[in-house]
Structure 1
Amino acid sequence: MNRFGLRTSNPAFSRYFWGKNRRYSAKMSLSGIILKSLLMLCLVAITATYTWSIFFEGESVKWHTSIGMFVAIVASLFISFKHNLAKYLLPIYALAKGFFLGGISAYAHKRFPGLPLQAVFVTMVTFFVMLLLFKTKIIVVTKQFRAVVISASISIFTVYMIAWILSFFGINLSFIWGTSWYAIAFNIIAAIVASLSLLLDFDYINRQVGKAPKEKEWLATWGFLITLIWLYIEVLRLLKKLAIRS
């Protein structure tokens, strides 16, 4: 049954993770993915709220933010290669990502009060707009469309990883971290790609619902969480740069 309609750029949704094993009686369900997604978002909110609160109590959250991001990356790498561990590592990923998001959101709120709330609002509006476009088939994902989004996503993540590594050597790429119009344009492109990745996630979940084993819901949740958090980060960074220039 076709409930959505595309394929995703997330590694969690590649064919590698979806073996056609017909031995399982329980199959992936949309309600199962929604429930797990809500649970993981609650875990994200718990550690994000904690980091936020201690920041405004005067404590430094630099290590919370940095270690949170590092642990989230490591957990994702393990899930990528050991997908059977997703059910155990996804909560760790969510908690670690919460520390990271809480830190960057607190920094943004201190300088521009209310900015993180605006980013959350824009992210949720974008999510529902993408879902509407998907359900009404206003945007139909073809193989070419899918290839473009996947290529763009990989390119953006590669640039971010290079920039992150260079930052340890005191080298900052201004077109990413700066507030020039080039940096803002890069942010806009990244936010658009993240939005389109939601369409791909919706489609692939739709294709696998009722077919893939029940346990693969954890992988589906992981992939969806990656895209949603990525979108929030891009929106937050974009709003912050625009606020600085205004």
Structure 2
Amino acid sequence: MRSSNPVFSRRGFSRDTGYAGFNAPPQAGGAANPYAGTNPYATQAPPQYTPQTRPMTMDDVVTRTAMTLGTVIAGATVGWIFLTGALGFAVFAGLVAMGLGFAQTFMRRPVPALILAYAAFEGIFLGALSGAINDLPKMGGAPMQAVLGTMAVFVAMLVAYKTRLVRVTARFTRFVIIAALGFVLLSLVNMLFMVFGGGDGLGFRSGGLGILFGVVGVVLGALFLALDFKQVEDGIAYGAPREESWLAAFGLTMTLVWIYLEMLRLVQILRD
């Protein structure tokens, strides 16, 4: 099954595309490899010795994810302390993070420096935004509630995935992608109405409709977590190169940022 996460969809974490020999007919001399034709990372044995990168492990994914999330937290600390009143620079940092994220998404190989730079700028944006919201009337402590909510969603989805209460199938993936595209499209339309029409746009960010929209955003983030877990599981099972753990960390970080932003918006609406 092809990944719905743009980070992975260009990397061959797939059961149906023939990438790197997966589902490809056996080549001459390939009989010695029992995984040829089923493993996207299985290749014909070279005629002479060639150094190979060891396969990705769960420890690799956990370590890289801790590094990227740690960088986000460090950037958020800087943004909270020094840039709470400079939202213009915070927005700039957010746009830079978006550009770096897109750049990594469309690269054929992970670039750790690029991923960590994305995490740093994303953290600065989140920290400054969270600090500004925390200083608003009746919003004290809202960012911490959003953090706790994000952690709860992560743990709940991890348990649901490991116990197979949530099963990632082709139909599940299509549903999540279609729902996410619709959500993003409605958000963009609402933003345009806010910019050109003033006020609250179509009302997707306030009142009862805003609460419903926020809940949908959090649920979509949780479903994307399930897709991320599936890609990590497949990458380890198929012997993905160790460098792919950076992409796994990148994908998980982007999803957690999505959930945090939606959770923060939801908490803000409920408190307002």
Task: Please give the range of the TM-score, normalised by the shorter of the 2 chains.
Answer: 0.7 to 0.9
Give the CA deviation at 1:139.
Answer: 1.7
Q: 1:203 to 1:46 in 2, by over 3 A?
A: same
* Counterpart pick for 1:42 among 39, 52, 70: 70
Alignment map for 1:42-61 (pairs within 5 Å): 42-55=70-83, 60-61=85-86
- CA shift, 1:160, in A, is 3.5
The 2-side partners of 1:168 and 1:66 are apart by: 16
Could you tell me how far apart the structure 1 residues matched to 2:185 and 2:253 are?
A: 19
| Deviation of the 1:168 alpha carbon | 5.8
**Alignment partner of 2:165: what SS?**
coil
Aligned position for 2:213: 186
**Which stretches in structure 1 are left out of the alignment for 5+ residues?**
1-5
- In 2, the alpha carbon distance for the partners of 1:180 and 1:118 equals 19
* Counterparts of 2:218 and 2:169, CA distance in 1: 21
Q: Gaps (5+ residues) in structure 2? A: 13-18, 21-40, 44-51
Tell whether the 8 Å contact from 1:72 to 1:93 is kept in structure 2 after alignment. Answer: yes
- Superposed displacement of residue 39, structure 1: 0.8
Match of 2:15 in 1: none
**Alpha-carbon spacing, 1:68–1:216, altered in 2? closer, same or farther (3 Å):** same
Against the structure 1 CA distance between its residues 47 and 64, is the aligned structure 2 distance closer, same or farther, given a 3 Å change threshold? farther
* Equivalent residue number for residue 92 of structure 2: 67
What is the aligned-residue identity percentage?
28
Query: 1:153 Cα deviation (Å)?
Result: 1.8
Structure 1 CA distance, aligned partners of 2:119 and 2:176? 25
Secondary structure at the aligned position of 2:111 is classed as helix
Secondary structure of residue in 2 paired with 1:28: coil
Q: Decide which of 9, 13, 35 is 2:8's aligned counterpart.
A: 13
Deviations 1:23-65 (A, max 9, x none): 6441111111111111111111112111111246xxx221232
* Residue equivalent to 1:242: 270
Over 3 Å counting, the alpha-carbon distance change for 1:8 and 1:120 in structure 2 is farther
Residues 7, 203 of structure 1: 8 Å contact kept: no
Matched, 1:205 2:199: no
Query: Quick one: which amino acid aligns to residue 105 of structure 1?
Result: S
Amino acid at match of 2:152: V
1:129 corresponds, among 156, 174, 177, to: 156
Which of the two has higher C-alpha Rg? 2
Aligned residues: 234
Indicate the residue corresponding to 1:3 in structure 2.
none
Q: How many Å separate the matches in 1 of 2:221 and 2:2?
A: 14
Within 5 A, what are the aligned runs for 1:1-246? 8-14=3-9, 16-18=10-12, 19-20=19-20, 21-22=41-42, 24-55=52-83, 60-111=85-136, 112-161=139-188, 163=190, 173-177=201-205, 179-210=206-237, 211-244=239-272
The structure with the largest helix share of the pair is 1
Cα deviation code 1:58-79 (max 9, x no counterpart): xx22123211110111111111
- In 2, the alpha carbon distance for the partners of 1:109 and 1:230 equals 19
- Rounded Cα–Cα distance in structure 2 between residues aligned with 1:51 and 1:34: 25
Query: Aligned-pair distance for 1:163?
Result: 4.8
User: In structure 1, what residue type is equivalent to 2:66?
Assistant: L
Give the TM-score, by structure 2 length.
0.79
